[in-house]
Structure 1
């Protein structure tokens, strides 16, 4: 007798799933429950390994749990505000002379995915698909290599990343499988089964879905199966429904999808998917009805893109830049005391030389995670902080140079002030690193100036 396992039962065997209390007690009784190895200098305390199912899966202290929550709080709030994935299924019975109608059907209903069966297009035949695909959409297809009919395609929004899955082809049906990545990855399979009955379909379908179950627990199966599942006396349809029950799949279409009153187009999903607002629409261009639905699954939204302009100054050689400027200045004979119009020409000349050696480049960048805490006000403050840090370092360097070339009367005082500023900067930098931080001595500034300051370096008296 063959054993049947659902996808959820197979996923329970994963070691990352929290075991039950009975299993934990059994492991403790036989002495098989061991604590994980932790380095003695890691300063981490081990918490309860088998936490609650809804808690953060971490074995460390609450500090890391809070940081994990803060790290993913923005993405979780973004996902909760997103709309459901609007999907449609339609058997076109040839895309010829129907592309414009399907193009309007996508734009009018604001579809995210449109799954098409029986497109009747051949390899390297993309005219009908290009006309069907609106602006801002792309498609993935699987044409029939030989014979008439068949063909599968899916039209999707450009901001949705579809990863096609390589699954061996079956002789009894055509399929197109892809994965939609995200916080909860969704695996979708579009199937078209020809109306001719083949004895190997049930075994081929079982092998095909077994491979899909090992990829993801969120599965969506839809297409034209050409099986009268509304006929309870049909043994073939009864065996097919038994396979769906063995894989814990739910069939959502309950109304006829064909002009002859049978349910041929099916939408099946696992229990973790919530499908709502399923409806049938007659487009009057085929003997099948179009099926539209909403899938409540967290799909990542479009990334925010920004256009930046920059110069690659690292590729600029100073010698080349200097020679370029000298050639232009010599040829134009700039005066010693230029007027404002002549300064404008001079600046324009420098810009021309810079554009020739290091031209401006434009690049579009995007960020996968939006950081709502990084506001424009915070950006301005960080910019001011960097400017003040640069001014402080420059002032310290100028003070040291002044100390070396000052008179004997003020040189020791400048050296003491410089040493105090350097000590304060080192203490601030070390206090930001907890491993290097050390308690400051409880002494007054005057005492530190007298006792801890180093002796002034030798100096030379400048001729006044």
Structure 2
């Protein structure tokens, strides 16, 4: 009865079969029944949650795989056939990092938690759990001689599950350590399962170790549920202990692929809400035919005249058209299926099951051998099918990085995003309140001060060019705006965005009318000011119960983004023509990037160290910078750069009256208004933020400090000569002014996360303390990370090289595991996306590094080349790189510097790099006058040989001048890249290389 109460079965149950005064009777339609008096009946409380009609308690399987490497498809099919929610596998024999093999074993829609053996081969335990079940991984304790992995399974009652493997050679003392751990688990988790292969004989005549283990578990409140043998030798080695939960055991199953039996059980826990799924109302993708959609649009009446009527008519007509061709239907969630599983594989799977039934009936060696031989054939066919499918997928996604990384993650990632729809996580209202209140609390701590009021009361004077309106767009512009960007669809959109893009002739006129009326009236449609936010866990290792571990990902209506794109083109063109933005702001600007910002920064620092001076680098951290932008202050700063009239009115309309809802589990939260900030996910937001931050760099440079910005990443640096005893007064006053400006701009400075790096010789360090920032004492760190690059006190790049090589080799090992499923071109695509991209990121900072450091990078490239070509370690690497047409690392660095130089010289890069280069102009007319030669700084400007080899301002002109005159004369970027690579390739492999 207790089990029925937990399962919510709406029945009435008697207290006992006999002794209640009932009498036996016979009725029509049944063999027999029992009458009971009402006094012997009691009601069973009904479970109040929403439960699927076909709900059954979750089930688990425990098996010993004896190496999963040669039977991944067989194990996956076994788990699917058993319909399990949790699979517990011991003896995986999988080494740490081999995620591909584990992913192969997991059925579609399952996450994997694995703990490998730390020393030696064999061992390993894995938990496979459905992703639609709420769970979180538990940190694995260190128990000598024991391997274990655990999770908390969330429903109405959270259940902790620990899978344990104890090797046969483990001494008896290991059980004592295990019991100590179980005692701690039992105190922490009232509902606990401990199961696995304990390798002790808990038979009908158990050993002393088994008696001690079972009795000790009993004293901790854990009951043992397994009875009968679990090994083909007749011993009971696999055990299941539990407390606070009922475990219903099924008969053990003999399997032909292991010497252990497979154990199956049902866990008597309350069902999570909505398990089994309420019907999902969705439009069938197969019915969304663009031709039918075009015809439906032609039959619709034109909308009204005002902007509101135009937008409402647009939404109404598109909704009517999509309802006509693909109306929403109730669709129940289907079980995830492997897309590569073909009909031929299904037939082979049926034949394999037939051979298994033959073995179960015969129980002889011949039938077992037949089964295992065909199992190997089946495993090979599965791998061939996966190779064909994923090769085609990777080939189609080679030019789309996001989709390519998604495919790679599907092959290698063991854990997905946690399911937020179950009852132990949070509701959409909870997320919506948290995201809104977070900004409001930060803003409450930053009331408008005197500086804010002073700026708002200052007259708006703009003496330069002005942008007082946005020009109307042509039909050709509408087509271009439709094709630009990704066709992402917001839940508030009336129909999928890709369908709109597929019908340019039908939507061109109404879309152009909406955009031009919006630009002409200076109004952004209010219907498009709402964002739908989806919570995204920042890292899968973080606690899903903590709301602060989630990042809000905003999605805006497609029509609003098209209008934004029309404004962004004109606003960006105005800002570029008037040089309104700070030249050292590199975020979200064409030709600018993280690498250009870091090249300029390191060039200044290296030149300072060359002069015998020192430097101080300060990396400021802002909290929720985009969300904290004050609209009134932004309005003033827009006017300062020359935006007036209807253009300014349109931007005000774009920012005001905005709101957001959180989408979760098919539901939308209530609307929360946004009183500040630039909308996340909007096309205009980065541009508006750059305008808002424009005065900061001017303020910093007024104190003699340097300042680089990449969006909200701010780098301040002070160059100092001599041996200062204490921080210069300019630094103290500058930091006070920066903190005051940020406070006046109502931006939240996070001084505890602000990092400081001292650069220079140890004997030149400041003897006194650094100044404080917003009341927090600044302390220099041995290294800091800025824009993905690690800097140390001497700019040696050792820590950066170590981090890059470690990450690259990790992805290279994953690529090796994927190699059996990929063709060579597809494997090359994966290697370039995951390994080569890391070697090339900011590699212009590696100029002039010692050979011992560049060799580390070269080893990564060599390993990648050998993997791609199948070459052995005995093969010389130069012919392999030559065959692949890969530039060695040293020449890749030189190539990157030369490309940055070309872009800077011809206006394709930032001005702060162009200012470091100058054309060579001899005092008298020489043959070298017209050969596009750059001036190389002399020895008076750069004294140290190491600096001459490493600073961009000296290495770039030196390498540029070494190029052939024909290459230097090119003015097209594509032609220059091609010619430059060919020339460097000849230098690396000889003039005979092609």
**TM-score between the two structures when normalised by the length of structure 1:** 0.53
Looking at structure 2, the residues matched to 224 and 169 of structure 1 have their Cα atoms a distance apart, in angstroms, of: 17
Residue 48 (structure 2) pairs with residue 76 (structure 1): yes
Equivalent residues in 2 for 1:115-264, closer than 5 Å: 115-230=88-203, 232=205, 234-264=207-237
Q: CA deviation at 1:367?
A: 3.5
Looking at structure 2, the residues matched to 99 and 230 of structure 1 have their Cα atoms a distance apart, in angstroms, of: 31
Looking at structure 1, the residues matched to 188 and 152 of structure 2 have their Cα atoms a distance apart, in angstroms, of: 9
- Correspondence for 2:562: 356
- Correspondence for 1:276: 248
Over 3 Å counting, the alpha-carbon distance change for 1:209 and 1:343 in structure 2 is closer
Do the aligned residues in 2 keep the contact of 1:79 with 1:298 (CA within 8 Å)? no
- Correspondence for 2:472: 326
Q: CA deviation at 1:92?
A: 0.3
Over 3 Å counting, the alpha-carbon distance change for 1:100 and 1:80 in structure 2 is closer
Over 3 Å counting, the alpha-carbon distance change for 1:224 and 1:277 in structure 2 is closer
Q: CA deviation at 1:77?
A: 2.9
Looking at structure 1, the residues matched to 113 and 247 of structure 2 have their Cα atoms a distance apart, in angstroms, of: 23
Q: CA deviation at 1:226?
A: 0.4
1:149-186 deviation digits (Å, cap 9, x = unpaired): 10010111111132111242111211111111221000
- Correspondence for 1:38: none
Q: SS of 2:190's equivalent?
A: coil
**TM-score between the two structures when normalised by the length of structure 2:** 0.26
Q: CA deviation at 1:299?
A: 3.7
Q: SS of 2:50's equivalent?
A: helix
Looking at structure 2, the residues matched to 180 and 267 of structure 1 have their Cα atoms a distance apart, in angstroms, of: 17
Do the aligned residues in 2 keep the contact of 1:306 with 1:364 (CA within 8 Å)? no
Over 3 Å counting, the alpha-carbon distance change for 1:118 and 1:326 in structure 2 is same
Structure 2 unaligned runs (5+)? 1-44, 284-314, 316-465, 479-504, 517-559, 566-660, 669-994
Aligned partner of 2:260 among 276, 288, 297 = 288
Looking at structure 1, the residues matched to 198 and 233 of structure 2 have their Cα atoms a distance apart, in angstroms, of: 15
- Correspondence for 1:367: 665
Q: CA deviation at 1:351?
A: 4.6
Looking at structure 1, the residues matched to 192 and 108 of structure 2 have their Cα atoms a distance apart, in angstroms, of: 28
1:340-396 deviation digits (Å, cap 9, x = unpaired): xx998642313566542347xxx993239x89xxxxxxxxxxxxxxxxxxxxxxxxx
Q: CA deviation at 1:277?
A: 4.4
Looking at structure 2, the residues matched to 142 and 263 of structure 1 have their Cα atoms a distance apart, in angstroms, of: 24
Structure 1 unaligned runs (5+)? 1-68, 312-319, 333-341, 372-464
Higher helix share: 2
1:203-253 deviation digits (Å, cap 9, x = unpaired): 202211111112221111110000101153622222112101101211111
Do the aligned residues in 1 keep the contact of 2:179 with 2:217 (CA within 8 Å)? no
More contact order relative to length (CA 8 Å, sep ≥ 6) = 1
Do the aligned residues in 2 keep the contact of 1:191 with 1:224 (CA within 8 Å)? yes
Over 3 Å counting, the alpha-carbon distance change for 1:345 and 1:324 in structure 2 is farther
Looking at structure 1, the residues matched to 202 and 470 of structure 2 have their Cα atoms a distance apart, in angstroms, of: 80
Do the aligned residues in 2 keep the contact of 1:120 with 1:149 (CA within 8 Å)? yes
Do the aligned residues in 2 keep the contact of 1:92 with 1:116 (CA within 8 Å)? yes
1:407-458 deviation digits (Å, cap 9, x = unpaired): xxxxxxxxxxxxxxxxxxxxxxxxxxxxxxxxxxxxxxxxxxxxxxxxxxxx
- Correspondence for 1:448: none
Q: SS of 1:281's equivalent?
A: coil
Looking at structure 2, the residues matched to 250 and 223 of structure 1 have their Cα atoms a distance apart, in angstroms, of: 14
Looking at structure 2, the residues matched to 156 and 218 of structure 1 have their Cα atoms a distance apart, in angstroms, of: 18
Q: CA deviation at 1:323?
A: 4.2
- Correspondence for 2:528: none
Q: SS of 1:206's equivalent?
A: helix
Do the aligned residues in 2 keep the contact of 1:114 with 1:155 (CA within 8 Å)? yes
Q: SS of 1:365's equivalent?
A: strand
Looking at structure 1, the residues matched to 511 and 562 of structure 2 have their Cα atoms a distance apart, in angstroms, of: 12
1:252-296 deviation digits (Å, cap 9, x = unpaired): 1111000110000011111x3122242211220010011111112
Do the aligned residues in 2 keep the contact of 1:306 with 1:365 (CA within 8 Å)? no
Over 3 Å counting, the alpha-carbon distance change for 1:126 and 1:367 in structure 2 is closer
How well do the aligned residues superpose, as a CA RMSD in angstroms? Answer: 3.8
Looking at structure 2, the residues matched to 295 and 322 of structure 1 have their Cα atoms a distance apart, in angstroms, of: 69
Aligned partner of 2:60 among 80, 87, 90 = 87
1:37-83 deviation digits (Å, cap 9, x = unpaired): xxxxxxxxxxxxxxxxxxxxxxxxxxxxxxxx9xxx9x833258532
Looking at structure 1, the residues matched to 232 and 662 of structure 2 have their Cα atoms a distance apart, in angstroms, of: 50
Do the aligned residues in 2 keep the contact of 1:194 with 1:225 (CA within 8 Å)? yes
1:59-110 deviation digits (Å, cap 9, x = unpaired): xxxxxxxxxx9xxx9x833258532011100000100211111111121121
Do the aligned residues in 2 keep the contact of 1:231 with 1:237 (CA within 8 Å)? no
Number of corresponding residues: 277
Do the aligned residues in 2 keep the contact of 1:307 with 1:364 (CA within 8 Å)? no
Over 3 Å counting, the alpha-carbon distance change for 1:99 and 1:344 in structure 2 is closer
- Correspondence for 2:323: none
Over 3 Å counting, the alpha-carbon distance change for 1:101 and 1:356 in structure 2 is same
- Correspondence for 1:19: none
Over 3 Å counting, the alpha-carbon distance change for 1:324 and 1:280 in structure 2 is farther
Looking at structure 2, the residues matched to 142 and 129 of structure 1 have their Cα atoms a distance apart, in angstroms, of: 11
